[in-house]
Chain A
Amino acid sequence: GENVEQHPSTLSVQEGDSAVIKCTYSDSASNYFPWYKQELGKRPQLIIDIRSNVGEKKDQRIAVTLNKTAKHFSLHITETQPEDSAVYFCAARLNTGNQFYFGTGTSLTVIP
């Protein structure tokens, strides 16, 4: 199967600063990489995703970059706000199946 590593496990930033979370994956057959935001006790919510034929995707303050050669992808949040505080998970999907393999999560705290 796939092995997804995520760093850092915790991240604190000042409001207005940027936050970057990085993930690496092991299987070059992975072709889809979503990012989820999960608030305490709630369901994971998809915030952005990228397919392997694209290097970068942006949606307002959120962007994701993908380096297929190095097998890593990153989430970038600019102009962070307190409501961005949550746990963020990356995931990777093999093109040979349906399953998502999740990273270990990053707890982001935005300090007002």
Chain B
Amino acid sequence: GAVVSQHPSWVICKSGTSVKIECRSLDFQATTMFWYRQFPKQSLMLMATSNEGSKATYEQGVEKDKFLINHASLTLSTLTVTSAHPEDSSFYICSARGLAGLRQFFGPGTRLTVL
């Protein structure tokens, strides 16, 4: 149980375009989802926390107008990278936490390359 999927797994886009990444909890209801960014050989950096039906809470230094997060249902959260630039190229990973319990379960990640 506790499967989290992410789509797409890899996306290449031109500079200035927007990219949407989906995170779904497949077999449980995720009241809270988290979005992380990971650079090569580095740790996971928490970008934002989203609770279903409410606005996301962004970590310090993360531009909320740049990284739009929507958590419209208990099984889906989306991250939209707006006006993407090469420096936004990274591995984006979501995780989800259920109604009860502390554990977070990670999606497989999305590799974004901005040309």
User: Which A residues are closer than 8 A to B by beta carbons?
Assistant: 32, 34, 36, 41-46, 49, 51, 89, 93, 97-105, 107
Contact = CB atoms under 8 A, between A and B. Distances in A.
Contacts of B46: 99-102
A98 B44 contact: no
Contacts, number: 51
A31 B78 CA distance: 29
Nearest to B51: A98
Given A44-B44, A103-B43, A105-B42, A98 B106 contact: no
Interface SS, A side: strand
Contact of B32 (A42, A51, A98, A105): A98
B34 A105 contact: no
A89 B108 contact: no
Interface in B91-115: 93, 97, 102-109, 111
Contacts of A32: 102
Interface in B13-72: 32, 34, 41-46, 49, 59
